[in-house]
Chain A
Amino acid sequence: MALNPFFLQGSKSEQFLIQDLINEQIKIFGVEVGYLPQKFVRKETILREVSASKFSDNFYLEAYVSNYDGYTGSGDILSKFGMNLKDELTLIISKERFESFIAPFLAAMDPDEIIVSTRPREGDLIYFPLGNRLFEIKFVEHEQPFYQLGKTYVYELKCELFEYSDNIGGWDNVNTTVDQIDKSLEKQGYITTLKMFSSGSLPGFTTSLVSGYVRKIDLINDGYNYLSPPTIEISPPPSGGVTAQAVATISCIGNFCSLKEILLTNPGSGYIEPPNVNIISLTGIGATAKAIIETTYNGIGVVTVSAAGSGYVTPPTLAFSSPTVGSAITAKARVTLNSTGGINNVLIIDAGVGYESIPEIIVNQPPLTLGIGTFIFNEVVTGESSGTKTRVKSWDNQEKILKVGTLNGSFTPGEILVGSISSARYCLKNYQISDLYDKYEQNDEIQIESNSILDFSEKNLFGNY
């Protein structure tokens, strides 16, 4: 049975007319949405899933909102995994507009990244400007209405709110260059907070020469059960001298702690014989130490911090110029840092022997003397020494706090981080990994509570804690 030849069943011109009418209706009553094609970065061969993808292009297209009276779906629900938003959206876009505007661009992209270019694809994202939300296309219906005049004219996109995962939130993440879209994701996903130093400055030290001083304190027995640093009391010199002062540090393996070393804060003066060193602790037992004194030649006295400096992440090394007489033992000392990365105090390991004049004190430069630039959203930031890379989420220039996405390794405190586009350079002070912005995770909270109730004398096999 042939069709009636006196009817066209839909001519090209009739089809064009309907298409034009539909296009016009969508342009009048529609909403301009962003279409973000998913580009495959890595596809798992056996498990058959795209384990890494990126959304680096966007196309703005008019779409009619089919569910005009609100989102469909289950709405906002509280699940075992916290808040889960189940909003759904149905959009109708013109087939002709997609094929003439978006499809040619998709066809020109890397075919390994875009495996279908002729139609809207499931897995692509829709940026819905009414609410600044991202929807994932779940299904593309292409036959509704069903072949009017022998042709279909629209695509119906059934969308659900996007499930964010670090397979797009990390290295090659959403980067559309459209501020509205990028900013909507700035606070989503895994955020690592980096505290940076903006500038660093050299510290200053002064010292003096003393005679009849405690040169150093040797540990004879490190004892046990020193749960906190003990108090060190050194017996005074004969009248007219200055009593030496010292502090102790401890080291622990698991719950077993012993004395690590005793360092001088003041070598004293006027000693003619080695003083007693009393180690006073509420818990520790058995540690003993002896003082080594120098009565013939001069050594360094108290080292005072005249300028704390700033920008240090690890304590810098102090170097003293060499002495010239006697056994000529060069003084040694180490510093401790304050919370701003400056020098807190100087602890003398050995006051040296044989100085005729006050020695010069040389200290390492802080890692970065001046931080410059402004990190910009989504640029790649690289650690100069670790090579670790990440992408910028936000930069607080006032507080010098850089928020980034997931890392591909670990940064080293003290290294310089450089922005790939902005060329901003700042020194990393410390960082906290992977905070979920929505306050779901309790990993650290659980760990803090566990520290007081779990016995960790045997290693926790499940991690580094």
Chain B
Amino acid sequence: MLGTYFYHQNIRKTIIAFGNLFNNITIKHQDGDNNDYSEIRVPLAYGPTQKFLARLEQQADLNKPVAITLPRMSFEMNSLKYDSSRKTTATQSFKAVTNDSKIKKVYMPVPYNIGFELNIMTKLNDDVLQIIEQILPFFQPAFTITVDMVDTIGEKKDIPIVLDDISFRDDYEGDFSTRRILLYTLQFTAKTYLFGPISDSTDSLIRKVQVDMYSSTDVQTARREMRYTVTPDPIDAEANDDFGFNENWEFFGDAKVYSPVQKTDI
């Protein structure tokens, strides 16, 4: 029943857009004289991956001399839930024009909340404080980004990214058999949309608008006396073209009336 193939990459785009918020965060370190000696962009990656790929890419040298390089950030999608508070009428649709000027019928997208988790791991408390201070002020509690959800029709949606929760772990207590772990976890909700299949519209482009004007409001007896017609210039312009308009005014004294069925004055 459902089997119409479509894939707009809505979820993937939301993941990319979320990651983009945090891909240019830097931290600095100072030496004993308070001079900056290093400025690094904190590495960020999408957490889930194939195990063999991680091993081949990140541990090409089996005898890697160090355990891990810190600081690091990772993010991942961890929930997907329908958002009934943003529900629109299921049958509501709109027309859109594709890049190649074809008219498409698009049903209103379905609101879904995608949960994200941003994890930050550092060796130093000072590092993680530098990182989160560069993130938190922008979420009050949401930060909105605009994403082109369906590129074929250029449908851009504003997606608020809401900061839901912050938790952190600093295992500094205990015996010396375990190392101190500094790990901050920020929970977010992206209020995104999922688009259904986009079908060809049976409707054509409106290429002519005609308005008849009457001297009386009695539509039974009154006859049209003036006609205003607008057509695109050029007449074969497509929806994405840059076109102008031709306007035409006509005056009648022939007591005829326009029949939309027969498409002529009778």
Binding site for B on A (CB under 8 A): 41-42, 44, 47, 49, 51-52, 76, 78, 80-87, 122, 131-134, 138-139, 158, 160-167, 169-172, 184-185, 187-190, 285, 389, 405-409, 433-434, 436, 438-444, 446-447, 449-450, 452-455, 457-458, 460-465
Chain B residues whose C-beta falls within 8 Å of the C-beta of A285 in the assembled complex: 242
A42 to B71, CA, bound (A): 18
Find out whether the CB atom of B32 lies under 8 angstroms from the CB atom of A83: no
Find out whether the CB atom of B29 lies under 8 angstroms from the CB atom of A52: yes
A169 to B69, CA, bound (A): 10
Q: Using A408-B37, A408-B38 as known contacts, say yes or no to A80 and B119 having CB atoms under 8 A apart.
A: yes
Q: Which B residue sits closest to A407, measured CB to CB? A: B39
Beyond A82-B45, A439-B57, list 4 extra A-B contacts (CB 8 Å): A42-B32, A47-B125, A169-B69, A285-B242
Find out whether the CB atom of A47 lies under 8 angstroms from the CB atom of B38: no
Binding site for A on B (CB under 8 A): 13, 16-17, 19-25, 29-32, 35-41, 43-47, 49, 51, 54-55, 57-61, 63-72, 74, 76, 119, 121-127, 134, 138, 143, 145-148, 151, 156, 175-177, 179, 242
A-B contact pairs, 12 of them (CB 8 A): A80-B119, A82-B68, A132-B63, A139-B176, A160-B67, A166-B40, A438-B64, A447-B20, A450-B16, A453-B147, A454-B17, A455-B156
Find out whether the CB atom of A443 lies under 8 angstroms from the CB atom of B41: yes
Find out whether the CB atom of B24 lies under 8 angstroms from the CB atom of A134: no
Find out whether the CB atom of B24 lies under 8 angstroms from the CB atom of A52: no
A443 to B125, CA, bound (A): 23
A453 to B32, CA, bound (A): 44
A453 to B60, CA, bound (A): 33
A167 to B125, CA, bound (A): 12
Find out whether the CB atom of B47 lies under 8 angstroms from the CB atom of A132: no
Considering the complex of A and B, which 9 residue pairs feature the smallest CB-CB distances, nearest first? A463-B24, A171-B37, A170-B38, A441-B43, A139-B176, A455-B146, A406-B38, A161-B67, A450-B20
Find out whether the CB atom of A453 lies under 8 angstroms from the CB atom of B148: yes
Find out whether the CB atom of B69 lies under 8 angstroms from the CB atom of A170: no
Q: B42 → chain A, closest Cβ, in Å?
A: 8
Q: Using A76-B59, A408-B37, A449-B16 as known contacts, say yes or no to A49 and B126 having CB atoms under 8 A apart.
A: yes
Q: A168 → chain B, closest Cβ, in Å?
A: 9
Find out whether the CB atom of B63 lies under 8 angstroms from the CB atom of A133: yes
A80 to B186, CA, bound (A): 14
Chain A residues whose C-beta falls within 8 Å of the C-beta of B72 in the assembled complex: 81-82, 440-441
Q: Which A residue sits closest to B123, measured CB to CB? A: A165
A78 to B151, CA, bound (A): 35
Q: Which B residue sits closest to A181, measured CB to CB? A: B65
Find out whether the CB atom of A51 lies under 8 angstroms from the CB atom of B242: no
Chain B residues whose C-beta falls within 8 Å of the C-beta of A51 in the assembled complex: 29-30, 124, 126
Chain B residues whose C-beta falls within 8 Å of the C-beta of A131 in the assembled complex: 63
